[in-house]
Structures are given as structure tokens and as C-alpha cells.
Amino acid sequence: MRTEAAELVFDEATKVYPGRESAAVDHLSLTVPAGEICVLVGPSGGGKTTALKLVNRLIPLTSGDIRIDGTSILEQDVVELRRSIGYVIQQVGLFPHMTVEGNIGTVPRLYRRPRSWIKARSAELLELVGLDPSYAKRFPAQLSGGERQRVGLARALAANPPLMLMDEPFGAIDPIVRARLQDEFLRLQKEIRKTVVFVTHDVDEAIKVGDRIAILREGGRLAQYDTPQQILEHPADEFVAEFVGRDRALKALALRTLGELELSPATEDGLPRLPADTSLRDALALLVAERRNALLVIGADGAPLGVATREDLLA
């Protein structure tokens, strides 16, 4: 599979809906580097979904520009533009009269790909999104919510687009399945390295999946655009601090792992042992729960790496 990705640039992108005084998206400027996940997050009325739909021109720009790999979306044929962008929505919108394979083959069929090509591609994509190839012949009505969303993702990936737009893709899915889908999506993204714009209203989801987070405030104004770490540790203003939550220090801990700490040599026995890829947040939770002050970090092979204290975790 090709692993090309495109750089996406919002350049003063503005949307004012007809008959409205205020903008839905207000002079939005940001650059999503190729191969990164940019999460648009914010309260309702922040224009996240509008900003997303400006990219594939489901909503026309009022002013400003959006460029994909340097080419303005306004210079491209709208149908060609959309076929070159993967699109995933919350309610999935699978076609109920087509099989899973038929759904996945939608855009390839528009490109007149032969049936055998579509069959092979569909099997490949099903495996990629974690579904058994036997799902190819099923109909959407026979799938669970999580399975439908996986098929929706596979369908969006079918033509191998360099850019993916995902509008609250896991919003309608129960928390346990959602967490699993997020993990699998991140694993998948490591493999395919697409440029992704991901809309959510859930700040924890934003922190988890985003390489960068754009926080939009009411009126579609960009409040902060930065890495999750930076946003949690250095919120640009009161609004951002409030939005990411009072527990932002804890959320920041969740982004780092024990392996990133400078460990001291092991001196005492009987310390709780945790693997190096445990997040600082989980490690701290364990120390609090067990009323301990230090823990032993162990490597993937089970060998002890060193000791981390409460102070180390919180430093």
C-alpha cells in the first residue's frame, strides 16, 4: 500500500452562513503536516464540523482558502476533490442495499476498477480494520455499531486517499468499544500514515488521538493549536484551561510513560512492578491505591530498569 499523505493548510478560511450575522468559522489558519492527525475540538457552536466540511466542499467557503499539498480546493473539480479525500461520519451512512464489499467498492467503482480488484482490496481493507474477510458478503443491517464504523473507515480508505476527514467517527459508539476503536485507529494510522482531520467534542478523545489539537471556541475562532502536551501544560488562555478541564495536569501525566523518566537504581525489595509503557497517570493511580511511594519499572523482557518515586512522576 502506498503511504502518501498530503499537507493540509487552512488559510484564513471563513464561513458565514447566509442570513447569519456572525461567522461559523472565523479566519481559521492552521497547517496540518502530512501524515499527522489534527483533532478539531471545542464546544458546540465552535464550527468544528463546518470547518471539516469546508475541506471537501460539502460546505462552500465564504472567504479565505484551503490548500491540499499546495493546490487550492477551489481550483479542483468538486467531485474529483471529494474522491481524493476519505470521509467518515458519525452515523457512518453505509448503503443498506449493498454488501460490505459493495460499500467498500463505491469509490473504486467510480474509477471503473475491475470487480476482482475491488474484491481483493475489500479483503485487504477488512483485515486492516480488524474484520474477518467473511464480512465482505454481509449487509450493514447484519453488523453491530462498531463493525459498521470499521466498514465506514474501510470504505473511506478504499481509494487510498492522502487525506481523511473524520466527523465524530466514534461518537455514537459505547465507551468500551470506542476505546478499542481509538486504539485500533491509532495502530492503523501508524501503518498507513494518512493526514487526518478528526472532529470530536470529547477532549479526552482529542488528547488520545491527536498529534495536534485545534481548540475552536464559539464563533469558530481558533483558541489554540498545539500538541496535546503543550495544550495541557500551557493552555493559551482561561477558555482553553477551562475547556481541557481542571484535571489537565493528570491528563498530561497520561501522555507520558514510565520509560521516559530518569530512573534511580533499584535499592529496596518488594516494590510494585510496572512495565515501562505504563502511563504516568496509571502509575500514580497505583501508588495512591497501594499507599506506596515508589515503584519498580520493568522492561519488555521483564528485567528491572530502575525505580521511580512519586516525586519523579510529578516532577
Partner 1 sequence: MLASLFVDAFRFIPDNAGLLLNKTAELAELAFTALGIAILIALPLGLWLGHRHRGLFVALAVSSAGRALPSIAIIGFFVAILGVGFWNNAVALVVLGIPPILTNTFFAVEGVDPDAVEAARGMGLTEEQILTRVELPLGLPLILAGLRIAAVFVIATATIAGIAGGGGLGEIIANQAAYGLPGVLAAALCVSAVALLTAAALALAQRAAFRRMAPTA
In the complex, what is the shortest distance from the CB of residue 190 to partner 1, in angstroms, rounded to a whole number? 25
Distance CA 41, CA 222 (A): 10
Of 139 and 239, CB closest to partner 1: 139
The only residue of 18, 70, 75, 80 in contact with partner 1, by rule CB under 8 A: 80
Q: Is 165 in the site for partner 1 (CB under 8 A)?
A: yes
Size of the site for partner 1 (CB under 8 A): 27
Q: Is 106 in the site for partner 1 (CB under 8 A)?
A: yes
Q: Is 89 in the site for partner 1 (CB under 8 A)?
A: yes
Q: Do residues 182 and 205 make contact, with C-beta atoms less than 8 angstroms apart?
A: yes
Tell me how far the alpha carbon of residue 198 is from its chain's centroid: 5
Of 92 and 196, CB closest to partner 1: 92
**Greatest Cα pair distance in the chain:** 71
The region of 79-87, 198-206, 269-277, 307-315 touching partner 1 under the rule CB under 8 A is: 79-87
Note the residue count of the chain.
315
Distance CA 16, CA 305 (A): 56
CB hemisphere CA count around 265 (13 angstroms) = 1
In the complex, what is the shortest distance from the CB of residue 154 to partner 1, in angstroms, rounded to a whole number? 13
Strand order in 212-217's β-sheet?
85-89, 163-167, 195-200, 37-41, 212-217, 221-226
| 140 grid coordinates | 450493514
What is each CA distance from 263 to 103, 274, 304, 315, in whole angstroms? Answer: 51, 13, 11, 12
| 164 grid coordinates | 481523511
The only residue of 48, 82, 150, 251 in contact with partner 1, by rule CB under 8 A: 82
In the complex, what is the shortest distance from the CB of residue 82 to partner 1, in angstroms, rounded to a whole number? 3
Q: Is 141 in the site for partner 1 (CB under 8 A)?
A: yes
User: Identity (one letter) of the amino acid at 151?
Assistant: V
Of 98 and 266, CB closest to partner 1: 98
The only residue of 32, 54, 107, 154 in contact with partner 1, by rule CB under 8 A: 107
Q: Is 15 in the site for partner 1 (CB under 8 A)?
A: no
Which residues fall within 8 angstroms of residue 175, CB to CB, at 6 or more apart?
A: none
Of 57 and 193, CB closest to partner 1: 57
The only residue of 95, 134, 191, 273 in contact with partner 1, by rule CB under 8 A: 95
| 9 grid coordinates | 493548510
Of 110 and 288, CB closest to partner 1: 110
Residues making contact with partner 1 (CB under 8 A): 56, 58, 79-84, 87, 89, 91-97, 106-107, 110, 139, 141-142, 152, 155-156, 165
